[in-house]
Amino acid sequence: MDGELENRFVLTNHNFFLALYNLARALFAHDEKPFESMFAQLLTEKMETHDKELVGGRSPQLKENTHIILSEDSIKMYLTYLDQLKSLFTRFIHRNFNAKKKIQSWKEIEEKKVQMVVSAFLKMCRVKHMIPSLLNIETLQSFIAQHVLTPMNNEEYDFLMEKKQLLNIYAEDINPQESQCLPEDGEPGLLFHEFIILLGLIAINCSGTSANEDVNIENFFVDTLGFTKIPEEKRKFKAFDDYLKPPKSKKGLGVTDADELIKQI
């Protein structure tokens, strides 16, 4: 890269979000909420409907708790326990739960974007004694249907809203630790990031009394889900701007330095 890279060309945190906001206004000028429209249509993964049409993927409902669940401190806590969250998700994918062994690895789940059907999440809640200790089945039904997995087609609407099928599955499953998890037609599933959001929602609404929500999330992970607590010395995070600022050099940022910076990202 020729020439010196001056500080005025560094994209700061404020300018980054300002650029996103202006881009949304340009692309979705006629929408009432242009930023949300851009987020839903461009920055979320497309999903295929039953008639093979690609539609914008789900994004969390912007309710009172959404900003807490997706705050910087909360996200740091998810990253701290990311490996254990992956293991939990892998364990309770219905094929693995039914076989009592790992049929699908995390690598396969990640590559194929395997979802955890909501009845498998219900299994997990009962095996981990979240139900009825922290919340009841009606609350879980509400969290899933109204906050995380708002229905995207008629089948999902019937399952979650019309029939409230999770309540029936809960009532009929008298031995949740041993019975099989058998997904029903039209049953929606959680992608991994939706799984984390739902856990965060449960943590801040049903667990903990600390004024710091990230503390409540960690206590929920450790005390309820049985995660191994991560020592403080192993929690090292870079600030967002640290990834954008080049290494200080009188000669500017050369090609070799740029390659090293990209590797860090």
Based on the domain organization, do 98 and 153 belong to the same domain? yes
Angstrom distance (rounded) from CA 63 to CA 44: 18
Element (H, E) at 48: strand 47-48
Same domain, 215 and 148: yes
List, for residues 179-190, the tens digit of each pLDDT value: 999 999 889 999
Residue at 91 is within a domain: yes
> What count of other Cβ atoms lies within 10 Å of the Cβ of residue 130?
21
Residues ≥6 apart with Cβ < 8 Å to 84: 221, 225, 227, 228
Q: Confidence class of residue 241 from pLDDT cuts 50, 70 and 90?
A: low
Q: Would 145 be classed as within a structural domain? A: yes
Is there a domain that residue 169 lies in? yes
Integer angstrom CA distances of residue 53 from 46, 50, 151: 10, 7, 16
Say if residue 118 is in the same domain as residue 243.
no
For residues 208 and 245, membership in a common domain is answered with no
33 and 105 inside one domain: no
- Please report whether residue 51 resides in a domain: no
Domain-embedded: residue 52? no
Token look-up 């710091």 returns 212
DSSP 26: H
Is residue 118 assigned to a domain?
Answer: yes
* 43-99 per-position pLDDT tens digit: 555 555 555 554 455 666 666 777 888 888 899 999 999 999 999 999 999 999 999
Output Rg (C-alpha) for the chain, integer angstroms: 21
Question: Measured between alpha carbons, how far is 263 from 65 in angstroms, rounded to an integer?
Answer: 35
| Structure tokens, 184 | 């029903």
pLDDT cut 90: percent of the chain above it: 48
Same domain, residue pair 122 and 21: no
226 and 148 both lie in a single domain: yes
**Number of domains observed in the structure of the chain:** 2
In DSSP terms, which residues pair with 48 in a beta bridge?
A: 54
User: Do 60 and 197 form a contact (C-beta atoms < 8 A)?
Assistant: yes
Q: What is the mean pLDDT of the chain?
A: 81
Mean pLDDT value across residues 152-167: 91
% of residues, the chain, pLDDT over 70: 75
Phi, psi of 84 (to 5 degrees): -75, -30
Give the pLDDT mean for 125-150: 93
**Residue 169 and residue 71 share a domain:** yes
Model pLDDT for residues 86-98, shown as the tens digit of each residue: 999 999 999 999 9
Q: Phi-psi region for residue 164, left (φ > 0), alpha (ψ -120 to 50) or beta?
A: left
Domain assignment of residue 129, yes or no: yes
How far is CA 138 from its chain centroid?
22
Inside any domain, residue 3? yes
**What is the domain range of residue 240?**
1-43+236-265
DSSP state of 189: E
pLDDT at residue 261 in the model: 39
Residues 161 and 179 in one domain: yes
Q: Are residues 78 and 208 both part of a single domain?
A: yes
**Does 138 share its domain with 201?**
yes
Q: How far apart are CA 79 and CA 235, in angstroms?
A: 9
215 and 258: one domain? Answer: no
